[in-house]
Amino acid sequence: MTKPIPDKAEIALEYPDKLYIGTFDRTARFDAHVDETGISLSLHRSGADDVRKTVRMHFHYALFAEILHDLAKTVSSVPPADAAHRDELRDGARALYRALDPRHNDKEDIARMTPEEEVSLLHVME
């Protein structure tokens, strides 16, 4: 199920002889979920042929875990005065942590997530 992007995403794909750059703003949609082998993320921008685009990424669990570790090491670059972004990141990480806890990892618990927790979890998976 796709949801509106709450902020903005920028994508750059570099090849030796080509560079593709795309942005996805609040008019775009995203989908993030886990599957048997890892984390899937899709960004969708609809519209005419010249603006329509889709980016799909899949990270195996070990790579995604390493990405989370690296993010934790560099989070100090977010200024303490930027409380809003720190809160969003913390809420998303908390939602992911709770969802991964086997004591809470059942359909009933996931169904009790607030819309804010769902959005936070999806932000973490971006």
- For 44-70, how does the pLDDT look when each residue is reduced to its tens digit (9 = 90+)? 999 898 889 999 999 999 999 999 999
Neighbour-count burial for 40-63, b at 16+ CB within 10 Å, e otherwise: ebebbbeeeeeeebebeeebeeee
- For 73-84, how does the pLDDT look when each residue is reduced to its tens digit (9 = 90+)? 988 888 877 878
Taking residue 123's Cβ as centre, other Cβ atoms within 10 Å add up to 20
Of the candidates 54, 57, 62, 65, the one whose C-alpha atom is nearest the C-alpha of residue 33 is 57
Phi then psi for 124, rounded to 5 degrees?
A: -60, -35
Report the C-alpha dihedral over residues 36, 59, 30, 34, rounded to 10 degrees: 20
Q: Is the whole model's pTM more than 0.85, yes or no?
A: no
SS3 (DSSP) at 79: coil
Taking residue 120's Cβ as centre, other Cβ atoms within 10 Å add up to 22
